[in-house]
Each structure stands twice: as structure tokens, then as C-alpha cells.
Amino acid sequence: MQSGELPKKPMKTNALKDHSRQEKRSIRFIVNPFSGRKTNQNISEIIHSAINSEIYNYEICLTKSEGHAKQLSREAVEAGIHIVIAVGGDGTINEVASQIINSETIFGIIPVGSGNGLARHMGIPLSVPKAIQLINESNITSIDTATINEKPFVSIAGIGFDALVAEKFSESNKRGFFSYLRIVIQEYFNYKPRKYVIQFNDGKRLEVRAFFISFANSSQFGYNTSIAPHAKLDDGKLDVCIVQKPRIFDMPTVANLLLLKRIHKSSLVKIIPSSGLQVIRSERAINLDGEAVKLKKKLEIKVKPLSLKIIIPKNDSKK
């Protein structure tokens, strides 16, 4: 742990305004040193040079294993630290945010992972110094989060082929887009669509065979691929994206639609906004904010409206 003189008992507050009249705010940076990009090796130095130490006291904590980010985040909330920053990819963001939901602690992101889906959706810069500048500016809003069998997610959860790819990607010792694409191609040919029974909270019921289904709070898988172009983080709903398996010669068109944020125009995709639903399926794998987990075959998905305070760019306050 590295320190910027974090006070033992920081004063609690709900806002970060008029810094000249307040005591310094406290920040804990939770850094995953194994996340996506090579530049991560210099994260601590960049934080020291870019953070506004006139308004913040801060500390930098490096994660040592899976689940450590959750522990560090939970301890920060219990200690009354004002702001907790996840420095990593979508998996690190999930671990850190999961302990902040429904608290007075403010969440922030420095995206240094592979896909960076949530950061891209919100317009948070992938440049570390620019992301730190957002923290210095401290523009704050509240966004929805969701749970799947009580496990929280902030951006996207998914089942079917999506979950299989997340599982294989987590087992790979190579990160980045091309590693992800290689797994997609390898697994595509042998994967058969599965049957799903979906019961929406409004009473609608569907029985479908699907290649995968995504429960999208934000729009992106990552790598600028948009599965739910109209998803909003503050509307109290998830976009349930039911996707049929494309034929091999349809793949270039599908890829272009994902990148152009027009996948909803495809006849292979049906998107249904929902405040909550249940799903019964045959497999157990789940993609939870880019990380592979296993859950029961029956899933209950709930939305928690405006349950996370988060630092965002000033021009993207209602994404």
C-alpha cells in the first residue's frame, strides 16, 4: 500500500463542492496490477503526478488475488473513505462497485483493462491522466445497478455463447481484442443455441432458442462493440438482448452493426427493456461484467435504480 497521507477518520459527505471551504476529501485507488495494458506498470507514478493533492488525501492499494478488490472496497466504505476508484478492467470495476452500491461512498473508474465496456459507454477517457482529471473535477451522478441471483453487476451480464466466451477468455493467458476474437472463432462452429424460458415482471413470457442473451445496463460488451445501443444507466431498466446464431457469411455484417451501434436493426436481435425477469436455462455459466461465474439454472434478474454514485464526464451526465 502506498499513501498520500490518508486521514484515519475522514469526514463523511454526500457531495464534492466548494473545495476551499471543506477539509480534504479521502480517496482509495484500488489498482489491479494484472489488468489489460502494459502501461499499468506506471499507474502509481501517474496518480501521484496527476491527482490534485490540494483537495484530496489519497492512498493506492494493489490487489493481490481474485476477490481482494472486494475486500479493499468494503474496508474503504466501512472506514468512511469518500471516494473509491477502480483501476482496472470491467472485472475489477465489478468487484469494487459491488461493495459501494447503496452507500454514500462515491465510485470512480480509471479504465486500464482490455474491453473497458462501461468506461467507453460513459465516455471516460482510456488515457490514465485524463481519467484522473475527471476525478479532480468530481462531477457526480447516480446510476442503476442490477443483480443476477443477488450477484451485482454494473454493465452487462449474459448467458449462452457470451458466457462460454467469457469463461474461455478468463482461462487464457493472453488478453486483448485479438485473443477475445480468436476464442469467438474457435467456439462458434460447435456451439448450438440453447432453450430459454423467460418470465418478465410485467407478465410477458417467452420460450426461445438463442445463441446468447445479454442483460444490458450499459450499451457495450467492450472494444466499442455495442450490443444494446439504446441502453441507459439511469432508466430503471435493463435491455434484454435475445440474439440468434448468425450464419458464417452473416458474421461480417453482424460485426459491422455491433461497431456502428446498429445491431438492433438486425433481424437476428430482439431487444426488450425490462425492470426485472426470471430465466430458466440448461447451463450454469454466466458472464458477469466480463467475468465468468457459475450460478443455478434458474436466474432472477433485478434492477436497483440509482443505487451507485459515480464520477462521470460533465458532458455525459445522463448516459
What is the Cα–Cα distance from 27 to 238, expressed in whole angstroms? 30
Q: Which pLDDT does position 40 carry in this prediction?
A: 52
Q: Which pLDDT does position 18 carry in this prediction?
A: 47
Percent of the chain beyond pLDDT 90? 76
For 90-110, the pLDDT digits (tens) are 899 999 999 999 999 999 999
Residues 6+ apart with CB under 8 A from 242: 198, 206, 208, 210, 213, 269, 270, 271, 272
pLDDT band at residue 71 using 50, 70 and 90 as cut-offs:
very high
What is the Cα–Cα distance from 303 to 179, expressed in whole angstroms? 32
Whether the predicted pLDDT of 273 surpasses 80: yes
For 116-162, the pLDDT digits (tens) are 999 999 999 999 999 999 999 999 999 999 999 999 999 999 999 99
Amino acid, res. 285: A
For 218-264, the pLDDT digits (tens) are 999 888 899 999 999 999 999 999 999 999 999 899 999 999 999 99
pLDDT band at residue 180 using 50, 70 and 90 as cut-offs:
confident
C-alpha cell at 130: 485524463
Domain assignments of the chain as residue spans, ordered by start = 2-138, 151-305
Q: Which pLDDT does position 10 carry in this prediction?
A: 37
Percent of the chain beyond pLDDT 70? 90
What is the DSSP annotation of 40-59?
Answer: GGGHHHHHHHHS-TTTEEEE
For 183-194, the pLDDT digits (tens) are 888 999 999 999
Q: Which pLDDT does position 319 carry in this prediction?
A: 55
Q: How many CB atoms lie within 10 A of CB 3?
A: 10
- For the segment(s) 2-138, the CATH number from 3.30.300.180, 3.40.50.10330, 3.90.1580.10, 3.20.20.70 is 3.40.50.10330
In order of 17, 66, 298, the CA distances from 9 in angstroms are 20, 28, 44
- Which phi and psi (to 5°) does residue 253 adopt? -65, -45
Rounded mean pLDDT of 63-70? 94
Whether the predicted pLDDT of 14 surpasses 60: no
CATH of domain 151-305: 2.60.200.40
